[in-house]
Amino acid sequence: MPLKRVVITGMGALSPFGRGVDTLMNALLLGESGVRILPELADIRGIRTRVAALVPGVDPGEIPRKYRRSMSAMSVFAALATGDAIAQAGLSGEQVHGGRLGVSIGSTIGSPRTTQAFFDDFRTDNSVERMKSGVFFHIMNHSCAANVTHMFGITGRTVAPSAACSTGALAVGYGAEMISMGKQDFMVCGGADEFHPLTAATFDIMNAASTRFNESPGRTPRPFDRDRDGVVCAEGSGILLLESLDSALRRDAEILAEIIGFASTSDPESIANPNAANIAHCMRQALLDAGIGAAGVDYVNAHATGTELGDIAESEAIHSVFGDRVPTSSLKGNIGHAMAASGALELAASVEMMRREILLPTHNLDHVDPLCASVPHVREVTRRRVDTVMKNNFALGGVNSSLIIRRFRQ
């Protein structure tokens, strides 16, 4: 059975710069940082990081109460981004509701804010008498995906991949495979997460959160930089509307990019630490899937979160696959690490880089760490036409993912 080609025809983003892919791109082009001091972190005993990148200016009230009651912040982000992606793709009501559109959207966990609110109340008198009906719909693992299907009346498949930092990329990859196999014609794919101190603490206790720039938030995280000191947690949602090429051509949709390769591999060496050889294996598997060699890739959008070990491992892996030929950058210096949303947000920005014929630099990369210097880093906004991009994401738990997109041609 011949596989179908898969293209991207719509995108939506809720990022620390606000709503919209254009908003995100404008901020990235200006070299802005979405990282801010979060005063509430100072009230938490034991946490050392004081910075995060939160989504500003969202009005959940634009979502009708009937749908909003089952949504925590992460589902609100996912729903708004999905609406924007569907609008850009220009899908008709029949295409949205008719069963050929599915959903593949994941988060790291269900809503930590609602989980905390429930247990705060529950523990006061060991009672569930005040538990509202919406609690479960906020904290279930497929909360974002289910809320999106309900709000838009989507009747195809619902899947909610969850693999922490790889979630968004996996959701896109698995969605693309479903279209490729002909199971769906359209998929809304991506990830979403909402900030909670638990997320920052997870990295902080492992000495992987940024703590030295608490008074100068715009200077952290610093992917690949010699002075990097860890992750800055962010929130948001990135959503891509994937579609079979046949369908996109049939309805004369604007094709933003084609997804030509995807791989996900597991790394059983360590549940926390990345391994260069295993990352390289994932990237090579993606090349195999795309049917191209290393020479066919023009730019790598790295996972690079600004941690000591992760950035070195990824640099070594990129070098072992591509040598010193392929320009590389990470967008986390601007956005922070939006967890489950990061892969899809960064993929959307990568699509735009290809369309606008520019490469965005790694923000805060002032002095390349010699251990990360084996790859050519993008240091400034660079005018350059690239046709094929690899997007990496690697997750706690040992889940690697690499996507390859290409400028569309017949």
Partner 1 sequence: MTNQEIVERIDRSIAEEFEIDPEDMKPEKTLFQELGLDSLDIVDLVIVLETAFRFKIREEEGIRKIRTLGDIHAFVIQKKIELESIPR
Contact set with partner 1 (CB under 8 A):
65-66, 69, 129-134
- To the nearest whole angstrom, how small is the minimum distance from the Cβ of residue 133 to partner 1? 4
Distance CA 143, CA 107 (A): 8
Kindly name the residue from 165, 189, 233, 282 that is annotated as catalytic. Answer: 165
Distance CA 373, CA 324 (A): 9
CA 72 to chain centre: 18
Whether 303 is catalytic: yes
Q: Which is nearer to partner 1, 131 or 272 (CB)?
A: 131
Kindly name the residue from 337, 363, 372, 377 that is annotated as catalytic. Answer: 337
Dihedral sign (CA 390, 56, 41, 340): negative
The tokens for 98 are 């008719």
Q: Which is nearer to partner 1, 90 or 122 (CB)?
A: 122
Tell me the sheet residues that pair with 259.
6, 405
- To the nearest whole angstrom, how small is the minimum distance from the Cβ of residue 128 to partner 1? 10
Q: Which is nearer to partner 1, 36 or 69 (CB)?
A: 69
Do the beta carbons of residue 390 and residue 317 sit within 8 Å?
A: no
Q: Which is nearer to partner 1, 66 or 383 (CB)?
A: 66
- To the nearest whole angstrom, how small is the minimum distance from the Cβ of residue 130 to partner 1? 6
Q: Tell me how many degrees the CA angle 68-342-239 measures, rounded to the nearest 5.
A: 50
Kindly name the residue from 281, 303, 363, 377 that is annotated as catalytic. Answer: 303
Please report the DSSP string for 282-299 in residue order.
HHHHHHHHHT--GGG--E
Distance CA 161, CA 143 (A): 11
250-256: which pairs have CB atoms within 8 A and are 24 or more residues apart? Answer: 251/90, 253/9, 253/89, 253/90, 254/9, 255/7, 255/8, 255/9, 255/408, 256/7, 256/8, 256/9, 256/10, 256/11, 256/351, 256/355, 256/408
Q: Which is nearer to partner 1, 133 or 410 (CB)?
A: 133
Nearest by Cα to 168 from 386, 321, 15, 275: 15
Dihedral sign (CA 161, 245, 239, 378): positive
Q: Which is nearer to partner 1, 114 or 315 (CB)?
A: 114
Q: Which is nearer to partner 1, 79 or 187 (CB)?
A: 79
**Tokens 């008498």 found at:** 129
- To the nearest whole angstrom, how small is the minimum distance from the Cβ of residue 66 to partner 1? 8
- To the nearest whole angstrom, how small is the minimum distance from the Cβ of residue 134 to partner 1? 8
The tokens for 240 are 């891509």
Whether 282 is catalytic: no
Dihedral sign (CA 208, 209, 214, 220): positive
Residues classed as catalytic: 165, 303, 337
